[in-house]
Amino acid sequence: MKSLASEFQDTDALCELGRASVQIVHDLKNQLNGLKLYATFLRKRLEKADRPADELETIAKLIAGLERAANDTAVMVRYGRPLELRRAPRVNLSGILASAINSPVRTDAETYEGDFDAAAISEALQSITVGAQASKSDKTGDGIEITLRRDDSGSSPFAVIEWHGVRGEGDEDLFQSFAGSSGLRMALAAKVIRMHGGDVAHEASVLRARLPLAEVRG
């Protein structure tokens, strides 16, 4: 059987396939949301009819599954379509990171201001953190260690965020695995960071995200 890539060598054909796939997934997302509404209606009817607990548990699991599928397809649609950022000047990245992971962050500097879409960056950092936790190398040990440092060695300053303690398996890149819900969200997170002028990398047991910072005010 031929691989999909071998059948679509032409770039225009691949782009057209991508656009069609995004539309199909978008339509599927709407159908899943519709099914979830019907299932919710049935659950309420069953509750009023005092149905057996196993029936109520089954419908609850059905609704949960539909919701997960709808959320995953929504992520796929967002990944496949152009993202629109709403940047604001001099946004404090340190504060965004601490809020996103709901924990204090180890830092080596006081200033981490940049032109960021705070909501998009926060969601991206949350997604990477969840993906890192899911791929933790030591399942019984402490959580992932997250650090933030400032890199002024280049022509312009960057913030470097690292998640230490993830599993390193050969050449697997968690930002490009697309494995399950976590993989989809990490791919979208990488896209958001690149759109901010940054980059991401998975090296051995470390996930790394770099984001450009504003120059320090004199």
Largest CA-CA distance found in the chain, in angstroms, rounded: 70
pLDDT confidence of residue 20: 65
Q: What is the pLDDT of residues 33-90, one digit of tens each?
A: 888 888 888 888 888 888 888 888 888 898 888 888 888 888 888 888 888 999 999 9
The one-letter amino acid code at 216 reads V
More confident residue, 189 or 26: 189
Assign 168 a pLDDT band (cuts: 50, 70, 90). low
Lowest mean pLDDT across 94-108, 129-143, 147-161, 173-187:
129-143
Quick check: 159 and 114 in contact, CB under 8 A?
Answer: yes
- Closest alpha carbon to 125 in 169, 91, 90: 91
Closest CA to 94 of 40, 149, 151: 149
Output the pLDDT for position 140.
47
Q: Which two tokens stand for residue 138?
A: 């030591």
Question: What is this structure's pTM?
Answer: 0.75
Question: At residue 166, what is the residue type?
Answer: V
Cα–Cα distance, 200 to 128 (Å, whole number): 10
Asked whether residue 117 carries a pLDDT value surpassing 80, the answer given is yes
d(CA 86, CA 115): 9
